[in-house]
Chains A and B, each alone.
Chain A
Amino acid sequence: MPLTRNSKGVTTVSEILRVSGLTVEFSTEDGTFSAIEDVGFGLEQGKTLAIVGESGSGKSVTSLAIMQLLAENGRITAGEIVLDGENLLDLPPNDIQHRILGQQISMIFQEPMTALNPILTVGDQITEVLLEHQGIAKKAAYERAIEVLREVGIPSPEKRIRQYPHELSGGMRQRVMIAMGLVSEPKVMIADEPTTALDVTIEAQILDLLDRLKREFGTSILFVTHDLNVVADIADDVIVMYAGQIVERGSVLDVFEQPKHPYTQGLLGAMPSLTGVEGDLPTIPGVVPSIANRPSGCRFHNRCPFAHPRCTAEAPAVYRVGGQDVRCHLFDPHRSEESQ
């Protein structure tokens, strides 16, 4: 893969989105805490990058921060979000709203039931993306909306376009959400657990759809999930998050074949067998610490089977191991003989 060096560091030419050093803080009643810290990754053109991790690990905060849709008490305190060569954090809010959101990046959410406005028709909600920014005629916008609805596999779109969300099934609604995200042909689509609320057969259909869109339209997808089966199904690359940090990053093949970080290993061990043999599901004991109670040193040390004294005292750096980046002391090349 060709590499170019620009002022911002090393970037592959085909990288459409690069996030680096992203840190988000929330001010709460108990004080100000960072929900994610130093999050960095690149999304390549036409690829799907999955963010995976248990509940509370910071997946949604990461995606909302990219969209600059954080809750009122949240703030991006450091980092860069470079979309196609442009750092979004340098742009005025007006520009973000007018030129970026819905145009160059779109987002679909977990709950298709509540993410659509109940009193506006499907057509109104899809076309407003076009009408708002592109100044095209209403009729043309509706024609385009029908076309997109057809592309996302909605039968008789001419009829559906006049319907309200409550007249559609959950799967259909999520297709409408996807159509809404696609209508202005964005460079990047962020999908935050788009199938979690759906039953398995519908989930499979939606995943197929996203995969097809990626191939047909070259849309780059940032796919948030806590389901490793889904990652294996749809993603090219994966980042594993734990307690607000990326702990492992690499291609799906590498990470699934040879998970390096104990947390990733735990997650994969916790994954229901792909061969369909239902046994005892191994799980990682404990839960993700809340943002106010993150342990010192390595954040995973209190749940880690390989923890040694250094893990409690010192936060690990990120090491390059094989094809992956791993945040774990075990992979420190200068590791002293003290452990094991």
Chain B
Amino acid sequence: MTRYVIKRLVQSIPVIFGITVLSFAIMKLAPGDPLANFVNPTISMEDLEASRSALGLNDPWYVQYTRWLSEVVRGNLGYTYAGNHSIRMLIGQRLPNTIILTLSAFILSFAVGVPIGVMGAVRKNTRTDYGLTIFSLVGVSVPSFFFGLLMIYLFSILLGIFPPGGMVNIRARYVGFARIMDIAHHLVLPAIVLSLSNIATVSRFTRSNMVDVLKEDYIRTARAKGLRNKAIVYKHAFRNALIPVITIFGLSIPFLFSGAYITESIFNWPGMGSLGIQAIQDREYGIVMALNLITATLVLMGNLTADILYAVADPRIRH
């Protein structure tokens, strides 16, 4: 198993390399450059051109890429063109916030989606099942900005239970446990909004797997053994039905991570979302590349985690 994981990790290095080459090239092919934002009428074309040359922006893209790569492999993500800020620090401030949001939504997706799916399958074609089906359909089809605004309207403006945005209560300046509770309080709405469509996907998928598994011969065998319904559903059916759900497990991580961009901007959550969008507009190549790198790593980690979980869950793969 350890050998397998190491092998997979080694295999993912060229994949990540390829992804960065590709995204770097695409980014460079797009028009615009970082200096366009600084143009002011008093700067002469010659000075501008000189700055460009000094920053290396006139080199061919692969030269620039090689330069970027040689820094990144040494752990240096570079500095912004505007203000010369450390990119590592910028990301370091934002990434944890996005991870908190993404992870909460991830846990919520499965903690809510799986039980809903199981319930729908066990009560197949009852009113409960139809109700859950409608919920899931709505869940996948409602755009998150609409759902987000609806939640803010309901829970912040009408009921006043949750704050409409931000991550902490700036005026209160909580510390320690109170701060954690404060963040959790701010987290509720964005996490729900981010996870909604994923809850729907997970529950539909769980339900259909569970329905299929409950038709399997070995379920009939379990019934023939006189097992209680609970043992049949959980010991025999549920665990088999979960195996395909693992695929969604792996896919969810990048899905939620990129979905977080929109949710963050709805709720003013100080994560990667606003940083990334600003970086693209400003042609802050260093930041955009760092984000690409993180996302690519997440996708690969998600897939690897899924494959490991497959092996844990399914003895036929383990051997």
Contacts and interface: CB of A to CB of B under 8 A. Distances in A.
- A in complex with B: yes
Interface of A: 67, 69, 96-103, 106-107, 109, 111, 114-120, 128-129, 132-133, 164, 166-167, 177, 180
B223 interface: yes
B171 interface: no
Interface string B220-231: 111111111001
B224 A67 contact: yes
B46 interface: no
Contacts of B216: 114
B225 A128 contact: yes
A141 to B, nearest CB: 13
B156 interface: no
A167 B217 contact: no
B231 A128 contact: yes
B217 A119 contact: no
Nearest to B218: A117
B220 A103 contact: no
Interface stretch (B12-20, B26-34, B177-185, B308-316): B308-316
Given A117-B222, A119-B240, A120-B235, 14 more contacts: A69-B223, A98-B226, A101-B226, A102-B225, A103-B226, A106-B224, A106-B225, A109-B217, A115-B220, A119-B243, A119-B316, A128-B231, A128-B235, A164-B316
B85 interface: no
B224 A107 contact: yes
Contacts, number: 77
A164 B315 CA distance: 7
B3 interface: no
Interface string B281-319: 000000000000000000000000000000001111001
B52 interface: no
Given A67-B224, A101-B225, A128-B231, A118 B217 contact: no
Contacts of B316: 118-119, 164, 166
Given A98-B226, A180-B225, A167 B319 contact: yes
A132 B217 contact: no
A119 B213 CA distance: 12
B225 A132 contact: yes
A109 B313 CA distance: 26
Nearest to B220: A69
A166 B315 contact: yes
Given A109-B217, A164-B316, A166-B315, A69 B226 contact: no
B236 interface: yes
Interface in B179-223: 216-218, 220-223
A166 B316 CA distance: 7
Contacts of B240: 117-119
A118 B218 contact: yes
A115 B218 contact: yes
A117 B221 contact: yes
Nearest to B231: A132
Nearest to A117: B218
Nearest to B229: A97
B239 A119 contact: yes
A277 to B, nearest CB: 38
Given A118-B315, A118-B316, A132 B221 contact: no
Contacts of A100: 226
7 contacts: A107-B224, A114-B216, A118-B315, A128-B227, A132-B225, A132-B227, A166-B315
A98 B228 CA distance: 8
A102 B224 contact: yes
Nearest to B224: A107
B230 to A, nearest CB: 11
B228 A115 contact: no
A101 B221 CA distance: 11
B218 A116 contact: yes
Contacts of B220: 69, 109, 115
Nearest to A106: B224
Contacts of B222: 117
A132 B239 contact: no
A132 B236 CA distance: 14
Best-buried of A116, A119, A167, A180 by chain B (most CB within 10 Å)? A119
A67 B223 CA distance: 9
A119 B315 contact: yes
Contacts of B235: 120, 128
Given A109-B217, A119-B240, A132 B224 contact: no
A133 to B, nearest CB: 7
Contacts of A102: 224-227
A111 B313 CA distance: 23
Interface string B223-255: 111111001000110011001000000000000
Contacts of B217: 109, 111, 114-115
Nearest to A107: B224
Contacts of B226: 96-103, 129, 132-133
Given A97-B228, A109-B217, A111-B217, A119 B313 contact: yes
Nearest to A121: B315
A114 B240 CA distance: 13
A224 to B, nearest CB: 14
Nearest to A67: B224
A101 B316 CA distance: 29
A73 to B, nearest CB: 12
B218 A114 contact: yes
Nearest to A167: B319
A114 B216 CA distance: 7
A116 B223 CA distance: 12
B316 to A, nearest CB: 5
A316 B225 CA distance: 39
B38 to A, nearest CB: 62
A98 B243 CA distance: 30
A118 B314 CA distance: 8
| Most chain A beta-carbon neighbours within 10 Å: one of B218, B223, B236 | B218
Nearest to B239: A119
A282 B93 CA distance: 84
